Amino acid sequence: MRRRRPSESVNIIVCVKQIPDPETPAASFKVDEAAKKVIPAQGIAPVVNPFDPQATEAALRLRDAAGEGKVTVISLGPDSARDAIKHALAMGADEGVLLNDPSFEGIDNFQTAVALAKAIQKIGAFDLILMGRSAADWDMGVVPAGVGQLLGVPVVTVAKAIERNGGAVKVDRVLDDGFQTVETPLPAVVSVSNEFGEPRYPQLRQIMLAAKKTVQVWGAADIGMAADELGASGRWLPLDALYVPKVESNVEIIEGETPEEKARNLAQKLRAAKLI
C-alpha cells in the first residue's frame, strides 16, 4: 500500500440537527401559541435536517478521497437527537458527540452556534467543519456564519460541490443568479445545499456497525457554558410570538367537459379579469 503523507489526512466535523419533518402536511402542522412551540405531529417522527446528510456525504467523500482521516458528528438537541448522530454514523462517520443539557431547552440559533463552537474547540484540531445551509425548522441559516466567526475561520455557504486542494478547498456555490467558484484556506466552515445531490442511504449492515461507534454526551458544563448564556432567557433573539397564519381558499374550479373546453373557459376568465 502506498504510504500517504500525514498532510493528506483530513479531520472533519459535521454538525447535524434533528427537526420536525419539514414535509409535514400543513393540515398536521400545529403550534402551541402560549408555549411558543410546535406540537409534534401525531405519527410523524422527527428527521435529520435534510441538508445535513448532504453535509455528511460531503465529509465522507473528502475523507475517503484523502484516504485517511476522521469524521466527527456533533448534534445539539434532546435525547432523541442521538438518532440524527446515528444516521450520520451509519452513513460512515467515525464518532459522535451529543450536546445535551436541560438548559439547552428553548435556546436560539445564536446560543447554539456558541455551544457548537465551544464543543468544536474541546474536540480540538479540525481541517473542515461542514453544515447544512440552513435548518428547516427556523429557516435561519446563521449557525455556519456564527461558528466561523466564533472560531475565527472563513465561511463558505451554499455549496454544490467541494474539492480538496492541499491546504485549501475549492467550492462551487449556488448564487441567486448563477454559480460561483471560490477557494478557501483550511481550516474553514462550509455549508452545503441540496444541489450537492443525494446523500447515500445507510444499509442495514452499516446501521448495525454504527451501533458500536462511540457517542459522547457533553452537557453545558463540559463545554464551559455559563448558566446566564443558556435557556430561553439567554436568547439573543427573543421569541415573542409563534403562530400559524390563516389561509382561506376562494378557488374557482374551471368547469368543462374536456381539457380543451376547460382551457377555453380559463382563457376567457383570465381575459375578462384583464390578467392576459
Partner 1 sequence: MPGILIVAETSAGAVAPISFELLGAARQLSAQGAGSVSAVVAGGEAEAKALIAHGAEAVYTADAALAGQPADASLAAVEAALQASGADIVLVGTTSFGRDLGPALAFRQKTGIAMDCTELKIEGGRLRATRGCYGGNARAEHTWKAPLQIATVKPKSFDAPEPDAGRSGAITASGAAGESKVKVLGVAKAESTGIRLEDAQVVVSGGRGLGDESGFRALEELASVLPQAAVGASRAACDLGWYPPAAQVGLTGKVVSPNLYIAIAISGASQHMAGMAGSKNIVAINKDPDANMVKAAKFAIVDDYKKVVPALIEEIKKLG
Ligand X SMILES: Nc1ncnc2c1ncn2[C@@H]1O[C@H](COP(=O)(O)O)[C@@H](O)[C@H]1O
Ligand Y SMILES: Cc1cc2nc3c(=O)[nH]c(=O)nc-3n(C[C@H](O)[C@H](O)[C@H](O)COP(=O)(O)OP(=O)(O)OC[C@H]3O[C@@H](n4cnc5c(N)ncnc54)[C@H](O)[C@@H]3O)c2cc1C
Site residues, ligand Y (CB under 6 A): 22, 50, 136
Q: Among ligand Y, ligand X, partner 1, none, what binds residue 166 when CB lies within 5 to 8 Å by partner kind?
A: none
Using CA atoms, how far apart are residues 74 and 16, in angstroms rounded to an integer?
Answer: 6
Q: Which of 172, 196, 197, 175 is nearest to 183 (CA)?
A: 172
Chain mean position to CA 208: 24
Using CA atoms, how far apart are residues 267 and 276, in angstroms rounded to an integer?
Answer: 8
Per-residue binding string, partner 1, 34-53, x by CB under 8 A, is ----x---------------
Q: Among partner 1, ligand X, ligand Y, none, what binds residue 242 when CB lies within 5 to 8 Å by partner kind?
A: partner 1
Which lies closer to partner 1 via its Cβ, residue 141 or residue 219? 141
**Coil/strand/helix, residue 231:** coil
Which lies closer to ligand X via its Cβ, residue 106 or residue 141? 141
Q: Is 242 in the site for partner 1 (CB under 8 A)?
A: yes
Of these, 112, 119, 153, 173, which contacts ligand X (CB under 6 A)? 112
Contact 134, 19 (CB under 8 A): no
Footprint of ligand X on residues 66-85 (CB under 6 A)? 74-77
Contact 178, 78 (CB under 8 A): no
Which three three-digit cell numbers place residue 68?
485517511
Phi-psi region of 107 (alpha: psi -120 to 50; beta: other; left: phi over 0): beta
Which lies closer to partner 1 via its Cβ, residue 79 or residue 228? 228
The one-character DSSP state at 244 is P
CB of 155 to ligand Y, least distance (A): 19
Q: Among ligand Y, partner 1, ligand X, none, what binds residue 42 when CB lies within 5 to 8 Å by partner kind?
A: none
Contact 224, 118 (CB under 8 A): yes
CB of 212 to partner 1, least distance (A): 34
Which lies closer to ligand Y via its Cβ, residue 40 or residue 231? 40
Using CA atoms, how far apart are residues 189 and 180, in angstroms rounded to an integer?
Answer: 17
**Binding residues for ligand X (CB under 6 A):** 15-17, 49, 51-52, 55, 74-77, 109, 112, 116, 131-132, 134-135, 138, 140-144
